[in-house]
Structure 1
Amino acid sequence: MSAAFLNDRRKAMFYALAAVATASSQDAIVKFLSSSFPASQTVFFRAIVAALILLPWLYAQRQDHSIWPANVRLVLLRGAILCTGYFCFVLSIAALPIATSVSIYFTMPFFVAALAGRALGEKVKSHRWIAISAGFAGVLLMVRPGAESFEPAALLALASAFGYAIGQLLSRHVSQSASPVVVTFWQSTVYGVVAIALTALAPFFEMSAESGKVAEFLLRPWVMPD
């Protein structure tokens, strides 16, 4: 095993750990904000922060990568699917404990494995199926579909896992013709556009005392921070 390969593996492990730490912090912040701010506002400012980080990076790579990807439709489709998955997840944590939403979200590998054969032509080995299925069974025990204590918001977390699984599979295709920075930029752009669209549509829906935490988080008007 070459030194270069080991170095790349260490980098990949570092990036993965950093991503998990960032996502966990983000989930906690969204959970905190869900009682006061609407989902569209949190997603919009997430997109703004991402743009501020990505634009200088894009400028530095302007000689090597065009900001307009060759397969722009697929990139935008991926962004729309991931945006839907993200909204489903943040709406779920408005009504569920973060630990429950995250645990349900971890069914994503099951969906990836189930779809990888058709989408990528990859064969998932039996021992991986056993491990993934055991994890999925654990999630079913947590969600308890059909039980009196079943929380419908759990389905949002499950839908998020499915959406992110499709997004991960599409990432393999779009990465062949566009840099990760370009793909991420357009993903964040889609997030921002969808957030603005939801903000414009929210006044046309009425909320009542029985609307629930999910509907309130989705339809609540924007709030100016103190």
Structure 2
Amino acid sequence: MTDQNTRLGIWLMVGATFVFSVQDGISRHLAAEYNIYMVVMIRYWFFAAFVMAVASRAPGGLRAAVRSAHPRVQIFRGLLLAAEVCVMVQAFIVLGLVESHAVFTCYPLLVAALSGPVLGEKVGWRRWTAIGIGFAGMLVILQPGVAVFSPAALIPLVSAFMFALYGLLTRYVSRSDAASVSFFWTGVSGAVIMTLVGIWFWEPMTLADWGWMGCLCLTAAGAHWLLIRAYEVAEASAIQPFAYLQLVFITLLGLTLFGETLRANVALGAVIVVGAGLFTLWRARKKGAAV
């Protein structure tokens, strides 16, 4: 891996996080006006078409993409991610972009904590300490036990748990399935389940919002393409920390476009969680290098 590739991977990851942030902002706008299931369903239609187009151009084409050693797990992964997207968009409506993403940043800590029982991986005391500190940061954000605490703050925490489980299952199937196979099953199975659910909530959309829906579909596909390219040209451990920039981009969007506020406890808690998450990534990378 060359330095140039690593730098390119970093820039691609930064680009992906920015486009994902824009995508979330559009999702917040559309879900405030229309049923969440319908919005996510249409997004998944385009996503499925995108992954099928990518798979058809890969070696072996669609036949290779369909072949999975774990089809049931792959289907469950797709269902889990689709449900996670719906839950997170609901969090955008209830809590706003800033606070939802501040809570959601704990998902790498959940991945580290669950990697033992789910994948049988060993988590050392240093990472367990970082996980504990990270969840202390979560308590700073959520403020349980005080008058201002809202149970709605648990919505993005549920989303983070679902996304962490999705990530662990992705690592599990990657032992025998190529990334292109997992990508294909994620898009197609998610589109099927969202169609079965979302079609019952169809409602007319204005021409202007169809334009926003088109932007949502394009940003979703574009962000995933940037992410794929980032992992193609650089090691995941080298570029993954830059994914936390999404919290910065989201905060700017929330404050400037949606009139949200950044409470002091949310900012402090997010710094603690991100710091703990970066430490777990560093420990995982150091442990991997030592093997």
Range into which the TM-score falls when normalised by the shorter chain: 0.7 to 0.9
| Structure with greater helix share of residues | 2
> For residue 91 of structure 2, what is the amino acid of its counterpart?
S
CA-to-aligned-CA distance 1:152-211 (integer Å, 9 cap, x gap): 322211111111111111111212333323312221223322322323555xxxxxxxxx
Structure 1: unaligned runs, 5 residues or longer:
203-220
Q: What's 1:40 paired with?
A: 37
Give 2:112's aligned residue.
113
Residues in 2 aligned to 1:15 and 1:36: alpha-carbon distance in whole angstroms: 32
Q: Which of 12, 15, 24 does residue 18 from structure 1 map onto?
A: 15
Which stretch has the larger CA shift, 145-154 or 39-48?
A: 145-154
Q: Answer yes or no: is the 8 Å Cα contact 1:92–1:157 preserved in 2.
A: yes
Q: Could you state the TM-score of these two structures normalised by the residue count of structure 1?
A: 0.79
Alignment of 1:56 with 2:53, yes or no, is yes
Instruction: Work out whether residues 95 and 153 of structure 1, in 8 Å CA contact, stay in contact via their aligned partners in 2.
Output: yes
**Aligned-partner Cα distance in 2 for 1:49–1:75:** 19
SS in 1 for 2:78: helix
Q: CA deviation at 1:134?
A: 2.3
Matched, 1:223 2:221: no
Deviations 1:73-105 (A, max 9, x none): 111111122222221111111111211000111
What root-mean-square deviation, in Å, do the aligned CA atoms of Structure 1 and Structure 2 show? 2.3
1:154 equivalent in structure 2? 153
C-alpha distance in structure 1 between counterparts of 2:50 and 2:200, whole Å: 29
TM-fit CA distance, 1:9: 4.2
State the alpha-carbon separation in 2 of the partners of residues 59 and 21 from structure 1.
28
SS of alignment partner, residue 160 of structure 2: helix
Contact 1:109 1:132 (8 Å CA) reproduced: no
SS in 1 for 2:147: coil
Of 65, 70, 81, the residue aligned with 1:67 is 65
> Structure 2, unaligned stretches of length 5 or more?
208-291
Higher alpha-carbon deviation: 36-45 or 176-185 = 176-185
Figure out how many residues of one structure are paired with residues of the other and give that number: 205
TM-score by length of 2: 0.63
The 10-residue stretch of structure 1 (122-131 or 136-145) with the greater mean CA deviation from structure 2:
122-131
The sequence identity of aligned pairs, in percent, is 30
Whole-angstrom CA distance in 2 between matches of 1:19 and 1:174: 24
Indicate yes or no: 2:162 matched with 1:181.
no
Q: Please name the residue that 2:101 is paired with.
A: 102
- Listed one character per residue, the Cα deviations across residues 96-138 of structure 1 (whole Å, up to 9, x for unaligned) are 1211000111121221111111223322333333333323212
Compare relative contact order (CA 8 Å, sep 6+) and give the higher one, 1 or 2. Answer: 2
Instruction: Measure the CA separation in 2 of the matches of 1:190 and 1:161.
Output: 20
Range 130-139 or range 162-171, more displaced: 130-139
Q: Which amino acid aligns with 1:223?
A: P
Deviation (angstroms), 1:28: 0.8
User: Partner of 1:31 in structure 2?
Assistant: 28
Q: What's the secondary structure of 2:69's corresponding residue?
A: coil
Q: Which runs of 4+ in 1 moved over 6 A?
A: none
Q: Which stretch of structure 1 is more off in the superposition, 12-21 or 43-52? A: 12-21
Kindly provide the CA deviation profile for residues 46-74 of structure 1, in whole angstroms up to 9, marking residues without a partner as x.
Answer: 21222332222111125276132231111
Preserved CA contact (<8 Å) 1:108 1:165: yes
